[in-house]
Amino acid sequence: MAYIGNQYNHLEKDLYKAPTVFSSGSTSLDTANDKESVVSDCESGVSGPCFDQPSLCNNGLIQLCSGDKAHDLITRRFLSSLGSMAVHIKDLTIQKNCFAGVTWQARLQSFQIFIKAMEKKCGGGGDANVKYAWCAATRDEICKIVEHGFGHCGLPKNSGLYGHGIYLSPDDSPMESVKNAVADKNGVRYLMLCRVILGKAELVQPGSKQCHPSSDEFDSGVDDLSSPKKYVVWSTHLNTHILPEFIVSFRATSSLKGFLGMQDRLKMPTSPWISFPALISTLSTYLPPTAMNLISKYYRDHKDKKISRHELIQLVRQFAGDKLLIAVIKSSRTK
């Protein structure tokens, strides 16, 4: 079975080129390949103008400015990955986690240990599959995570579509995280850019109730093995396999919601189709009530913007099967 360990992480390589090392005190974060990490230490100088936005928290976060290599690289990669949507992003600010204090130093060392353990698990000098990934969270959630680490009180909310854990977006696909970012009272939205130990990832089907790896062979989950848009880190691995290194905050223009709506409309099929209410009504004559209750629930989740149209379609395909769906659509077309 193919898995994502051999995929290339562009942000990872680019950040390695930065001549600075992420450290606090005498401890630094080595990568899986013993290369330098990405950010200067808390005493390093930065140059260029900063957007005048108050610090998210006063607990080990410092704001990076234009001219800092990590700031400029993350900004460039983030905006270019958004494509035409980038014009809706304003007042972009980046803060970094300095891992201040004994507790964060312990978490930092723990992350290193788990990288080494994953390498051994993957065959001695194997690939721990460490990636950068985006995670949407509210301001309050991030403050709790920075102060206490991940937990039930500081767990970014998700739809639960792919099991119980934290969903992250690959560094070159931040769109899903941007769509899930909730604005605070000042209209500011927040994302965490985290380093994540994925190890060997397994495919997780929509509607899964999974909360840990299905076997010792796997370590994390993905929605697609060849081109994942979601990394799933299980609830059992939150504080050992995720290291939040940067906090990216931004404001979005009022047209952002309309832009995302337009994106969904552009995905509308040109081939024969049937509306979801009509499809649900027809499927109810073929599928058991338990399956129909779940389909109806996911349709409500879609209407409430909790899951995307694509995710809803995948769920319906899982319950109904393509053969039945094709027959229902063809029947609807003849009518």
DSSP string, 103-160: HHHHHHHHHHHHHHHHHHHTTSS----EEEEEEE--HHHHHHHHHH-SSSTT------
Residues 65 and 127 in one domain: yes
Could you tell me the pLDDT band of residue 273, with boundaries at 50, 70 and 90?
low
Query: Could you tell me what percent of the chain has a pLDDT over 90?
Result: 29
Look up the CATH number of the domain holding residue 130: 3.90.228.10
pLDDT(6) > 60: no
Residues 166 and 304 in one domain: no
Could you tell me the pLDDT band of residue 27, with boundaries at 50, 70 and 90?
very low
Residues 122 and 220 in one domain: yes
Domain assignment present for residue 72? The answer is: yes
- Residues 6 or more apart whose CB falls under 8 angstroms from that of 115 comprise 30, 31, 32, 128, 130, 197
CA pair distance 166, 242, nearest whole angstrom: 9
Could you tell me the pLDDT band of residue 10, with boundaries at 50, 70 and 90?
low
Residues 73 and 178 in one domain: yes
CA pair distance 200, 155, nearest whole angstrom: 23
Boundaries of domain holding 325: 276-332
CA pair distance 223, 202, nearest whole angstrom: 9
Residues 248 and 137 in one domain: yes
Residues 200 and 307 in one domain: no
Number of domains in the chain: 2
Residues 260 and 281 in one domain: no
Residues 323 and 252 in one domain: no
Q: Comparing C-alpha atoms, which of 138, 134, 143, 151 is closest to residue 60?
A: 143
* pLDDT, greater one: 165 or 333: 165
Question: What value does the mean pLDDT take over residues 140-149?
Answer: 87
pLDDT(187) > 70: yes
Residues 244 and 224 in one domain: yes
Mean of pLDDT over the chain: 76
* pLDDT, greater one: 41 or 239: 239
Q: Which of 85-89, 261-265, 279-283, 297-301 has the lowest mean pLDDT?
A: 261-265
Q: What is the pLDDT of residues 188-199, one digit of tens each?
A: 999 999 999 999
Strands (E), the chain: 23-24, 27-28, 61-64, 89-97, 130-136, 165-170, 188-197, 201-203, 220-222, 231-234, 242-252
Could you tell me the pLDDT band of residue 40, with boundaries at 50, 70 and 90?
very low
Could you tell me the pLDDT band of residue 13, with boundaries at 50, 70 and 90?
low
User: What is the residue whose two structure tokens read 């060997």?
Assistant: 200
Residues 254 and 320 in one domain: no
pLDDT(134) > 90: yes
Question: Could you tell me whether strands 231-234 and 220-222 are parallel, antiparallel, or unpaired per DSSP bridges?
Answer: antiparallel
Could you tell me the pLDDT band of residue 110, with boundaries at 50, 70 and 90?
very high
Provide the pLDDT for residue 317.
83
Full-model pTM:
0.67
Strands (E), 38-110: 61-64, 89-97
Domain assignment present for residue 30? The answer is: no
Residues 219 and 293 in one domain: no
CA pair distance 28, 134, nearest whole angstrom: 22
User: What is the residue whose two structure tokens read 């579509």?
Assistant: 161
Provide the pLDDT for residue 33.
37
Residues 191 and 319 in one domain: no
Q: Are 131 and 171 in contact (CB under 8 A)?
A: yes
Neighbours of 258 (CB within 10 A): 11
